[in-house]
Structure 1
Amino acid sequence: MSGIRVAAEGLGLEGPRGWAFRGVDIDAPAGSLIAIEGPSGSGRTSLLLALTGRMKATEGTATVGEARLPKQLGAVRRVSALAHVTGVTDLDPALTVGEHLRERELLQRRFGGSVRELLRPRAERASEARLRVDTALAAAGLDRETLPKGSRTAVRDLERIEALRLSVALALVGRPRLLGVDDTDLKLSEAESAEVWDLLRSVTGSGTTVLAVCAEAPRDTVALSTRTRRPDTEDPEDAEDTKDAKDAKDGDAPARDAAPAERTGPAEDTGPAEDTEQTEHKEGKADALAETGRA
């Protein structure tokens, strides 16, 4: 299946803690490798979920294929898939690779096609689903025979890059036109990170458009950065820090309020990166859980 164009103008998302991201502009043709780069907690996962129809933007517009965001979220979800997103596509550490694949195969057979396809003989549908799984594994570069116990290898025993490849394979079973992958370089060595980018390039080579979250984007990608805020937006905390510094210089520094000021720029790290990422995922989890069928 061919990829789709991703375009956005002034896209932004404001939540209870302020702006997750704002002022996003992009126009990437079908089959592009789009890197969403920025530090953990900068709103990069929220942007990934928004562009794949799992979170509703509160400002600006976007076009994914022929669907318009934020109005046509369902249409975007139908042509996109997610991989390696904490809180949304988590692999069960107690299940084996084979069990994950069988579960995805059953979901594909039951929900992956039209009503007309459900009328086909069960054997044909089962054969088609298995072919999809094998094709997805090959595209993700995951060979079950190389795993310690083959298909019986538990997820907890997989290396990080193997778990990422499995998550990508599960997402590709549905033959999405847009694939979103989170944390592509989290706790990976430089060599492993290079392997992941080679994998994503091969996926785009088959025509699929890929959105990939990372700390730093390779040069050959269409890069979207969440490191900076819009120039016409001032963060109240920055203004408060400046005022406190001036008061301190004059010898009259006031105590900070217990409650933080409302933010109007992209959220910065105010605590452990893991907590911030989990908050972002929870906001989009209700819609995104449909990917796994475990709602």
Structure 2
Amino acid sequence: MTQLRGAAVSAEDFGLDGPRGPVFGGVGFSAEAGSLIAVTGPSGSGRTCLLLALTGRMKASSGHAKVAGHPLPKRLAAVRRISALGPVPGVNDLDPALTVTEQLRERVLLQRRFDSPLRALLRPRKERAAASRARLEAALGTAGLDLDALPRGGRTVVRDLDRPTELRLSVALALLGEPRLLAVDDVDLKLSESERKDAWGLLRTVAEQGTTVLAVCSEPPAEGAVVVRTEQALAGGGRKTGKTGAGAAGGPGDAQDDGDDDGEKEGADDALAEASRA
């Protein structure tokens, strides 16, 4: 049996406050290494901020969590080292002007420069190049990204990619670092039903190969995932969004969700500012 190299993730009464009030709160769950974790809830309920907090990019203000045994918020740097961000709008967007090959080459060079241990850097150049090539091929294979199938092959410009292919590219870039935890935001955004199935199939493949996957979505898959619902924190009064209880629980107030996106963005900006001062 292949040994999982993913990270076990758990949280208990986990919460984050920004200068303007609670962003999310009362989050609790437990997931084994190699799990697919789906974070879902209404717009404005702090889903993206929870993703960033569990990957060490934001500092929680209440409760606690563990990622591969590293306690949060105490060991943010340790969690950042073993986690990687897939697509997170506004945080690590792809450069639309680069080609796919340029985007991959840039990430490979950065990976080699900053993440390679000293002994690896001292190896002959050909060996290092071969290792980087093997890592790239493995990442592309897991992400299911066939460069030859693109309109202009590797010379296809990122802005010309459709949403599913862009997702695969972002996942491949993240996997180059061989993370134990992969985080992906807005998995099902602007996808058709068949494209959603393909996206969840991609993330299941990543998880089955041992990497724990944390994915924010509007609707979790029917099976095979640990589901974390941020609306539980809303229903418990842990976060002030200006929404009614019915809206938070999925009733008629859901019509307000689209208008709440700005509120979540403000909450994320506040929390990032707070984390940077910590």
Which TM bucket (shorter chain)? 0.7 to 0.9
**Match of 1:91?**
94
Contact persistence 1:62–1:68 (CA under 8 A): yes
Q: Which residue of 2 aligns with 1:226?
A: 230
Alpha-carbon distance in 2 for matches of 1:69, 1:121 = 39
2:40 and 2:218 in contact (8 A); partners too: yes
**TM-score if structure 1 supplies the norm length?**
0.82
The one of 186, 198, 203 aligned to 2:189 = 186
> Is the CA contact (8 Å cut-off) linking 1:42 and 1:269 kept in structure 2?
no
Cα distance in 2, alignment partners of residues 167 and 89 from structure 1: 9
* C-alpha contact 2:22 2:240 (8 A) present in aligned 1: no
Q: CA–CA distance in 2 between the matches of 1:236 and 1:279?
A: 11
Is residue 80 from structure 1 mapped to residue 104 from structure 2 by the alignment?
A: no
* 2:271 corresponds to 1:280: no
- Kept in 1, the 8 Å contact 2:98–2:158? The answer is yes
Contact map agreement 1:93 1:156 (CA 8 A) in 2: yes
Trace 1:247-262 onto structure 2 (pairs within 5 A).
none
In the alignment, the residues of structure 2 paired with residue 12 and residue 140 of structure 1 have an alpha-carbon distance, to the nearest angstrom, of 32
Partner of 1:261: none
Q: Which ranges of 4 or more aligned residues in structure 1 deviate by more than 3 Å?
A: 230-239, 268-272, 274-279, 281-288
Query: 1-side partners of 2:195 and 2:107: how far apart?
Result: 26
Alpha-carbon distance change, 133 to 275 in structure 1, aligned in 2, over 3 angstroms: farther
Alpha-carbon offset, residue 235 of structure 1: 6.5
Report deviation, 1:33: 0.4
Task: Indicate the residue corresponding to 2:70 in structure 1.
Answer: 67
For 2:270 and 2:210, the matched residues in 1 are separated by 31
Segment drifting more, 77-86 vs 224-233 = 224-233
1:230 to partner: Cα distance: 6.0
Query: What does residue range 23-172 of structure 1 map to in structure 2 within 5 Å?
Result: 23-172=26-175
Q: 1:287, CA displacement in angstroms? A: 8.6
Distance 1:282 1:185, change over 3 A: farther
Q: Percent identity?
A: 56
- 1:70-121 per-position Cα deviation (integer Å, ceiling 9, x unaligned): 0100000111000110122200100000000000110111112212211111
Q: Distance in 1 between matches of 2:213 and 2:259?
A: 30
Contact residue 33 and residue 211 of structure 2 kept, 8 A: yes
CA distance in 2: counterparts of 1:174 and 1:234, whole angstroms: 36
Quick one: distance in 2 between partners of 1:31 and 1:141?
19
**1:286–1:74 CA distance, 2 compared to 1 (3 A):** farther
C-alpha displacement of 1:126? 1.6
Partner SS for 1:229 = helix
Q: Would you say the 8 A contact 1:87–1:282 is kept in 2?
A: no
Aligned partners of 2:37 and 2:228 also within 8 Å? yes
Gaps of 5+ in 1: 242-267, 289-295
Query: Which whole-Å CA distance do the structure 2 matches of 1:133 and 1:286 have between them?
Result: 36
Distance 2:24 2:66 in 1: 17
Partner SS for 1:228: helix
Look up the SS of the partner of 1:105 in the other structure: helix
CA contact (8 A) 2:22 2:239 kept: no
Deviations 1:209-268 (A, max 9, x none): 0000000111321000112326653767879x9xxxxxxxxxxxxxxxxxxxxxxxxxx9
Whether contact under 8 Å (1:269, 1:276) holds in the other structure is no
Work out which of the two has the higher radius of gyration on C-alpha atoms and give 1 or 2: 1
- Partners of 1:167 and 1:107 in 2: CA distance: 15
Question: Quick one: structure 1 residues 235 and 130, their matched pair in 2 at CA, closer, same or farther if it must change by over 3 Å?
Answer: closer
User: Runs of 5+ in structure 2 lacking a partner?
Assistant: 245-255
Structure 1 residues 127-177: Cα deviation after superposition (integer angstroms, max 9, x where no partner): 111211111011001100010000000001000010011000000001101
Paired amino acid for 2:124: P
CA-based RMSD of the aligned residues comes to: 2.6
